[in-house]
Chain A
């Protein structure tokens, strides 16, 4: 039932996306899923963007139209390949800017200016355009142009130091964590700017720093340092106000169940389920404070119990008894997760080279204007002609003439 069911929230909104990698494209993917028309401007075969050559590939066979990594942030977008160093490529880009409400990009600071596509230039063809630039560290400041990849920014923004075990080198949070925080803030800023524009006719420029957006998620710890001088440390899976609170081994290879006990009553229930009533009656474990004293011991007891159970079974059993528990889901678990299925999180759409492939839907369901993943990720330059004719209203002659200049190559 992967079909749009009527009007979507952002219908009529026009977006040009010069983004690459994750942080920029993720913003415009959210817009596309909710009805915006998004044109992805990317390099042609001579300058293919990095994510198109990033694994995993369909059947492990590399190809510019086979990357699952690229696909997940590109669904529902139109792809046009443009050589922006070619004067006529730049001209087409500017015509798209004139057509658009929003221009998004995620190059290193200064690159859009070198291309002749900085905000001041965009305003000359579209005075009310909203431009958003997503970068590692923002457009200004001494380290704005310091190169670095997203997986490293996680360390700069303070997340690595607080993830992992106190007795070891930090285990950095998976992936480019700040790359997936910033886009949500970016979309908020875009939608707010659109509202302001509707009321005033004025566009504006949004400078989004992944570094700064990421630190929003560490705000209580930052206050704790500035007020109490306390520096948050990594603490495994410990939580100051819950115990037990950990991840426990289950039947099968690399299978785990997370369990979090917040109240004394939940602790009693857990002891009942483990058939260890004597633990429940033991005053050494009757309060949070006393359990924290014996946390390692309790973890061992629970682990020896969970080891002979399946993670799914434990989750259901514990949750039914009012105890927070969850399977530590891997890729297969997510695709089979009954709640995600119920919420229709995954949208399976046929792709010319990848075949049926799943795309993420948004985490919010809008009751009157439900979102939809409309099309599979575009093949490289799949919509060159469509974009030129439909959105830029080019004549046949002009389009054919452009092909010959090599501007799409």
Chain B
């Protein structure tokens, strides 16, 4: 098994992963790679279809320049293999013999049809953990239903809760459902691994994206069961305060929006008094706002008139400042307020910068460096990190087929001619 110097210091450095996923499952293998596993991304000789999904590097529509591919396939080596051909199946089985994990996101039944399902592969490697990521799981009434992001967010119950009440439910404008499924797949895989290291027994891990989305629902899930009513989407407003009152949760400001809430009761009174002080300093406080006894404010019983009057004054403050000014002001005044960051703001965040979150990754094939979001957790002794960029198509064929599987050059040429690698 190949190794690099820094990988030895990582938690999963002694394990190998075969990653046959498409865009539904890229992140799972990457997470294991971030923790040091040797991940081999196996794609068809034409290149993985996910490479055609944008956005692209400098907007060049090219399978070697997909930013989605880059973002979720780093820390992986890449080989090409046509697993539908007999010679390809044999090679996959050879790789499986030396692997700890196999992750895939084919439609249910596809690998079984090729004679490469879990039951076939465990004959080759009893300890193997085989993880499948699909929209709805390996079996059941929706087994063959299509489940792109929008449908996953819908059938998992998250879509219903997001959006403005007078418009249709709305999704987050960047696909999310399979990222949850892929992260859960990494969890399930490592749970199975925990069992395997103590018993030598591998197993199949069957992940459902729909169920991963259901786990996003927080109190909305038991809400129906316990009250017989639904939480409704409230858009930029806060839900659950009394008397049909609506209080903004997302407030417009000079250059975007900020997130802020007026909470009631003695616990939050100091925050509310700090807000009034800020309003006073800006000349925006009046008799109404300065005379409120915040210790006795109960959000559930005060009427719409009260909430609207409070909101109106706070709005004025927010509209006269940028989100960064407001965040700095909130820090100075000890208020709970966060800016509605854009992607651009995230890259400029002093907090993220101070923790070394953004990482420059070398792309020698582009003669360029690209800034990536870095590790998902700080792990003290076995770092989680970006070691190298995502592979080009077939980049490690020679290393893995030649050096590691011991194939001779003429064998590799034959396989290439046959379209297997």
Contacts and interface: CB of A to CB of B under 8 A. Distances in A.
B7 to A, nearest CB: 13
Given A223-B370, A237-B171, A364 B236 contact: no
Nearest to A57: B226
A300 to B, nearest CB: 13
A211 B382 CA distance: 21
Contact of B173 (A235, A331, A360): A235
B171 to A, nearest CB: 6
Given A68-B221, A231-B342, A364-B206, 6 more contacts: A164-B236, A209-B377, A226-B347, A227-B67, A364-B207, A368-B195
Interface string A238-275: 11111001111100001011101010000000000000
B152 to A, nearest CB: 8
Contact of A30 (B118, B187, B340, B345): B187
Q: Give the dominant DSSP class at B's interface.
A: mixed
A144 B351 CA distance: 7
A380 B374 CA distance: 40
B410 interface: no
Given A169-B252, A360-B215, A366-B191, A141 B35 contact: no
B159 A328 contact: yes
B109 to A, nearest CB: 16
B151 A9 contact: no
A369 B195 contact: yes
B373 A363 contact: no
B31 A188 contact: yes
Interface string A102-135: 0000000000000000000000000000000000
Contacts of A162: 172-174, 343
B260 interface: yes
B11 to A, nearest CB: 4
B303 to A, nearest CB: 20
B46 to A, nearest CB: 18
Interface in A322-355: 322-335, 337-340, 342-343, 345, 354
Interface stretch (B51-59, B82-90, B304-312): B51-59
Contacts of A224: 55, 67, 343
A194 B194 contact: yes
A149 B262 CA distance: 12
Contact of A324 (B148, B158, B192, B230): B148
B11 A195 contact: yes
A232 B71 CA distance: 15
A171 B170 contact: yes
Interface of B: 11-12, 14, 27, 31, 35, 53-55, 57-59, 67-68, 70-72, 118, 131, 136-137, 139-142, 145-164, 167-174, 176, 179-181, 183-188, 190-195, 197, 201-212, 214-227, 230-233, 235-236, 240, 249-252, 256-261, 330-331, 334, 336-347, 350-352, 354-355, 357, 370-382, 384
A237 B168 contact: yes
B216 A220 contact: no
Contact of B162 (A174, A239, A339): A174
A137 B346 CA distance: 13
B157 A329 contact: yes
Nearest to A162: B173
A143 B351 contact: yes
B194 A184 contact: no
A158 B341 contact: yes
Given A156-B338, A193-B379, A223 B67 contact: yes
A151 interface: yes
Given A59-B226, A196-B11, A143 B331 contact: yes
Contacts of B222: 56, 68-69, 71-72, 357-358
Contacts of A180: 215-216, 218
A15 interface: no
A249 B382 CA distance: 51
The 3 closest A-B pairs by CB, nearest first: A331-B224, A68-B222, A364-B188
Contacts of A326: 145, 147, 150-152, 154-155
A138 B379 CA distance: 12
Contacts of B336: 147-149, 152
B212 A363 contact: yes
A179 B181 CA distance: 16
Nearest to B357: A212
B31 A173 contact: no
A334 B157 contact: yes
A172 B211 contact: no
Interface residues of A, number: 156
Contacts of B150: 237, 239, 245, 247, 258, 260, 324, 326
Interface in A146-171: 146-149, 151-165, 168-171
Nearest to B151: A326
Contacts of B211: 340, 343, 345, 361-363
Nearest to B147: A324
Contact of A340 (B12, B139, B167, B210): B210
A182 to B, nearest CB: 8
A128 to B, nearest CB: 11
B140 to A, nearest CB: 4
B21 to A, nearest CB: 15
Contacts of A366: 188, 191-192, 195, 203-205
Contacts of B256: 161
Nearest to A156: B338
Nearest to A60: B227
A170 B151 CA distance: 21
A191 B193 contact: yes
Contacts of A164: 163-164, 170, 235-236
Interface stretch (A40-48, A83-91, A199-207, A284-292): A199-207
Interface string A2-34: 000001011001000000001000100010001
Residue from B14, B210, B240 having most chain A Cβ neighbours under 10 A: B210
Contact of B71 (A54, A223, A233, A246): A223
A368 B201 contact: yes
A58 interface: yes
10 contacts: A69-B219, A169-B236, A206-B378, A212-B376, A215-B352, A216-B373, A223-B370, A232-B173, A245-B150, A256-B160
Given A69-B219, A161-B341, A186-B377, A192 B12 contact: yes
A156 B349 CA distance: 10
Contacts of B384: 189
A235 B163 CA distance: 12
Contact of B340 (A161, A165, A211): A161
A335 B212 contact: no
A78 interface: no
A177 B158 CA distance: 10
A50 to B, nearest CB: 9
A93 interface: no
Nearest to A240: B54
B358 to A, nearest CB: 8
A55 interface: yes
A379 interface: no
Contact of B342 (A161, A237, A239, A368): A161
A58 B226 contact: yes
B218 A22 contact: yes
Contacts of A389: none
A399 interface: no
A142 B235 contact: no
